[in-house]
Amino acid sequence: MMYDCIIVGAGPAGGSAAYHLAKRGRRVLLLEKEFLPRYKPCGGGVSPAVAEWFDFDFSPVISCRAATIRYTWKLGDGVEAGLAGVEPIWMVRRDLFDNYLVQQAVGQGATLHAPAEVMGLTWQSDHWQVKTAQDSYQGRYLVAADGAKGVTARWLGFKDRKRRLAGALEAEADLNPPQPPAIHFEFGMVKNGYIWNFPKADGYSLGVGTFRGGESQDFRAILTEYAQGFGVDLTRARQYGHPLCLWDGQQKLHTQNALLVGEAACVVDPFTAEGIRPSMFTGCQAAQALDRALGGEMDALERYTEVVQEEWGADMIWAQRLAAAFYSLPKVAYQVGIRRPAATQRFGQILTGKLRYRDVTQNAIRQLGSKLIPGLGR
Per-residue confidence in pLDDT tens, the chain, 378 aa: 899 999 999 999 999 999 999 999 999 999 999 999 998 888 899 999 999 999 999 999 999 999 999 999 999 999 998 887 788 999 999 999 999 999 999 999 999 999 999 999 999 999 999 999 989 999 999 999 999 889 999 999 987 656 565 656 777 888 888 788 999 999 999 988 899 999 998 888 888 888 766 567 788 889 899 999 988 888 877 888 777 888 988 899 999 999 999 999 999 998 888 999 999 999 999 999 999 999 999 999 999 999 999 999 999 999 988 888 888 889 988 988 888 878 888 888 888 778 888 888 776 656 655 445 555 444
Q: Kindly list the domain boundaries of the chain, sorted by start residue.
A: 2-62+93-161+247-315, 164-245, 318-368
Distance, CA of 376 to CA of 378 (rounded, Å) = 5
Written as one letter, the residue type at 331 is K
Angle at 247 between CA 170 and CA 300, to 5 degrees: 125
- What integer pLDDT is reported at residue 341 of this predicted model? 77
Q: Is the peptide bond before 37 cis (omega within 30 degrees of 0)?
A: yes
Written as one letter, the residue type at 111 is T
Distance, CA of 208 to CA of 222 (rounded, Å) = 8
Beta strands in the chain (DSSP E): 2-8, 28-31, 45-46, 64-66, 68-73, 76-82, 89-91, 111-113, 118-123, 128-132, 136-144, 164-174, 182-187, 193-200, 203-210, 239-246, 254-255, 258-260
Distance, CA of 155 to CA of 244 (rounded, Å) = 20
Note whether 271 and 320 are within 8 A (CB).
yes
Note whether 293 and 302 are within 8 A (CB).
no
- What integer pLDDT is reported at residue 61 of this predicted model? 97
2-62+93-161+247-315 is classed in which CATH architecture?
3-Layer(bba) Sandwich (3.50)
Give yes or no on whether 2-62+93-161+247-315 and 164-245 have one common fold.
Answer: no
- What integer pLDDT is reported at residue 291 of this predicted model? 98
Distance, CA of 69 to CA of 72 (rounded, Å) = 10
The torsion region of residue 278 among left (phi > 0), alpha (psi -120 to 50) and beta comes to: alpha
Task: List the CATH code of the domain at 164-245.
Answer: 3.30.9.10
Q: Is the peptide bond before 180 cis (omega within 30 degrees of 0)?
A: yes
- What integer pLDDT is reported at residue 165 of this predicted model? 53
- What integer pLDDT is reported at residue 142 of this predicted model? 98
Note whether 167 and 241 are within 8 A (CB).
yes
Distance, CA of 225 to CA of 189 (rounded, Å) = 10
- What integer pLDDT is reported at residue 361 of this predicted model? 77
Distance, CA of 130 to CA of 118 (rounded, Å) = 7
Beta strands in 109-202 (DSSP E): 111-113, 118-123, 128-132, 136-144, 164-174, 182-187, 193-200
- What integer pLDDT is reported at residue 278 of this predicted model? 96
Is beta strand 118-123 parallel, antiparallel or unpaired with respect to 128-132?
antiparallel
Give the number of other CB atoms < 10 A from CB of residue 1: 8
- If 0-12 CB within 10 Å is exposed, 13-18 middle and 19+ buried, where does residue 348 land? buried
